A and B are shown apart, each in its own frame.
Chain A
Amino acid sequence: MSQPIRFVGNDDEASLEEVSQNVLVAPFDRVLDSLDGIYNWGRKNSIWPVQFGLACCAIEMICMAASRFDIDRFGAGLFRATPRQADLMIVSGTVTKKMVPNIVRLYNQMPEPRYVLSMGACATGGGPFKEGYNVVSGIDRFIPVDVYVAGCPPTPQALLNGLVELQKLIDSQKIRENRWYQKDYRGEIPVPVLGPDLLDQRRFDELKKISAAQLAALKAAAAAPAGAAATPSAAAAAPAAGAPPAKAPKRTPEELAALKAANAARRQATMVDVRKPEDTESKS
């Protein structure tokens, strides 16, 4: 790489000497490295977020952009109404299953370099609504997140701090190492499907295996004599589709202990993990 730069038709040492006094003559990778500073300075001071609000956090995001806090001081005030002109997605609010396909689609439409800021407890991990049946416990299950901001909702100041953190991150990046300039980089994420529940296309094989195992366990339980159906293993076969628990009469302490033990066994039995160890990294 570090060959001197040749000037076509201008080979004599004297003129090369003269040129290098006025022109930077350096190997290409050195040039790239010194470009990083200018390139990053430009990018970090002109972040264009996509105009994208999901829930309560979005109100604080609006306040951050408005009268008192004023995001414009950071050069990031130009909220774009289309993802194609934006390089930052602030996921501000609860990510629901019904909305996830749209979020992923929007993310796919953003050009590289693009960043994601997860704002608030909901976007980061489901927040107060985590247990809800229509809530995704964290947007990072689908798209890669660069900065997390804590809070419910984070104050505008906290969000500005998140923006500063993002600026630092941008400043530390190198053109040669950026993921989106790598040869094998594929940024597109398959859009999830709304079926009986949310289906992540990247995990189809895994889902299929578990569902088949559950069906087999159910069949086995049906074939077994009646009464055996109440054993923990049969209950584990259909963890979420159980019959309504009958209103139990007052239980004795022993019964309660037995119940707790059965519950623990059920929890143990439902801990099926068919993922290969390396798959668990797919979360990031």
Chain B
Amino acid sequence: MTMQKVTNVSPAPMTVATPLKDVNAVAAKVNEQFPGAASVDGGSLIVERAQSVPVARLLRDDPSLGVDYLEDITSVDWPDRFDVVYNMYNTTRQEGPLRMKVKADKADPVVPSLVPVHPGANLMEREVYDLMGVKFDGHPNLKRVLLWEGFNGHPLRKDWKEAYFEEEKKPYDQRWPDGKLVRAEDRVPYKDNIVLPPGFDPSKYTAPGEDNVTLVDADALKKGEIRSDTLVINMGPQHPSTHGVFRMRLRLEGERIVDLQPVCGYLHRNHEKIGERNAWLMNMPYTDRLDYVSSMANNFAYAIAVEKLLPTVKVPERAEYLRVIMAEFTRIANHFFALGQLLSDMGAFFTPMLYGIEEREWILDLFEMSSGARMMCNYLRFGGVAKDPPDEFWPLANKLVNDRLERAIDRFDELIAQNEIVLSRAQNVGVLSRADALAFGTVGPVLRASGVPYDVRRAEPYSIYDRFDFSIPVGTVGDVYDRYLVRIAEMRESLKILRQAIKDIPGGQQYNADPAMIYGGPKGWQLKVPKGEVYGRAENPKGSLGFYLVSDGGTNPYRYHIHAPSYVNIGALNVMCKGQTVADVVIITGSLDIVLGELDR
């Protein structure tokens, strides 16, 4: 009998309200070591460009600071400069965020790369380079990531206009001038959604080759361990096991992976650019389409991020409970789907998927009742939810929570988890060590399976999560099997929360702060958000979904950036897959539970 591993379910840590790091103290500490390197402005640590790498190293290594977790990198295009913004956390004392900013010139924006300190910066810096055109000095592979080599311009710059550009802000003036409908395609010379440089001659154009996707030769090659020629093969973007339009380039020696490079962007839908033209509320349905398996949870993350900028908006009790109920149901539905897919990847063809989807359908019924849609729920509003669920909601919810789902999880687990094949395929495959998990900035079940008890619901409690009794499942080895176990345990914890929430939910119909202001009429959706910037995040089924928002006091965001859990998790794919076989790559990708809508945005 194969030895069975169990996850340690950590006792619930004491809930502490997270103090925002005292930025002034941090700046003083940094200036002790590097005089004049740091200053404070508007709650952010501003670091001199030349010293950002040593400062980041100091922040990480100094035990009194311990800012070991770089969650997000993004940039803002100001009229006179680019700001590169780093949002960092301390995982041991669970403090943060510490927002570090480095300024870059408008004409030739270059800042040092943080990859030597935080390897997870690799993909995030590439994204900033791709979309904003800020170069990172010392980056190992600064290539386009969401768009392709040769694309004309950097689209997130404020002066870059897409082909179907109409106006800076929505709602657009009108699309029916003089009673005639004008279509976006009638305004552009190509009648198509493309922009070409003037004088461009397509017949003389040769596309830059695939070599742009470089595969750095692995260490093994240097050490001379490799005896045969290596072979580069391509998986995706249309492959049954890559979970969508995701692509990997693998360098193989025989059947073993020597190197792996993720190639993404095949579902890059320009979420951020569209989001900056939208009014604040108009982004709500777009967030549904990020991680389309868990749209309620995406709404939640966006709502709490914007509400941080709206201090006057108070969410009623009932709405808080409804939000938590929907988010936890989403987590269960998502994990059923993800685990079904993972087990299908192991070769069980479609059967586990059928079991998973069957339970998911029940939960979708609840969503359909309350929001009117199965998948794209668009249910939350700033300051509440859109509607109170109908009376039929509660009997079904009770039945699922108290009866059906628990048994379904047990059956799912029994059926599969003790299976000899599953054990040998999943145990000690795709191991991600605790140190690597932190260094690569992985999030969610991937991070926790590697032994880091970090969950946003505890580390930075939002909504009413501090009232519920639940624990955080943590893995011991960090392999595919641990990721499976962690998800199973998380479903059980979600059920625990749901039972408490459904029992305690207050009555009444107060489900929205001020429906007239938030929801109804032009004043509602043209809500003005006070000036400021915020990094708000929520623990989504896939990990921490963060929104970095900058408001200039207007009706739409000045900067709207999304930290996507799937995107950072694939950053660690390379270390997990090295030395494994091609068949393992399939299940390792499956165990990350990526969704391309969110990965590519």
Contact = CB atoms under 8 A, between A and B. Distances in A.
A in complex with B = yes
B374 interface: yes
A98 B269 CA distance: 10
A224 to B, nearest CB: 16
B23 interface: no
Contacts of B198: 211, 214-215, 217-218, 237-238, 241
Contact of A207 (B151, B164, B196, B358): B196
A263 to B, nearest CB: 9
A129 B375 contact: no
Interface stretch (B11-19, B202-210, B483-491, B572-580): B202-210
A114 interface: no
B193 A96 contact: no
Contacts of B205: 193, 195, 199
Contacts of A53: 244-245
Say whether chain A's binding surface is mostly helix, strand, loop, or mixed.
loop
A210 interface: yes
B265 A98 contact: yes
Contact of A153 (B203, B273, B286, B376): B376
Interface stretch (B48-56, B182-190, B462-470): B182-190
A195 B147 contact: no
Contact of A56 (B150, B361, B375): B375
A244 to B, nearest CB: 4
A152 B354 contact: no
A262 interface: no
A240 B358 contact: no
Interface residues of B, number: 74
A52 B199 contact: no
B89 interface: no
Given A208-B201, A240-B195, A267 B292 contact: no
Contacts of B273: 132-133
Contact of B187 (A106, A270, A275): A270
B162 A133 contact: yes
A250 interface: no
Interface of A: 51-56, 58-60, 62-63, 66-68, 81, 93-94, 96-99, 102, 106, 126, 128-137, 141, 152-153, 155, 193-200, 203-204, 206-208, 210-212, 214-215, 217-218, 237-245, 247, 260, 264, 267, 270-273, 275
9 contacts: A55-B244, A56-B292, A96-B267, A126-B193, A131-B184, A214-B198, A240-B163, A267-B187, A273-B191
Given A96-B266, A134-B146, 13 more contacts: A129-B270, A131-B162, A131-B270, A132-B193, A133-B273, A137-B185, A137-B192, A193-B205, A203-B190, A211-B201, A239-B187, A242-B161, A275-B191
Q: Which 9 A-B pairs have the closest CB atoms?
A: A132-B270, A215-B199, A56-B292, A196-B152, A244-B159, A214-B198, A133-B162, A67-B358, A197-B194
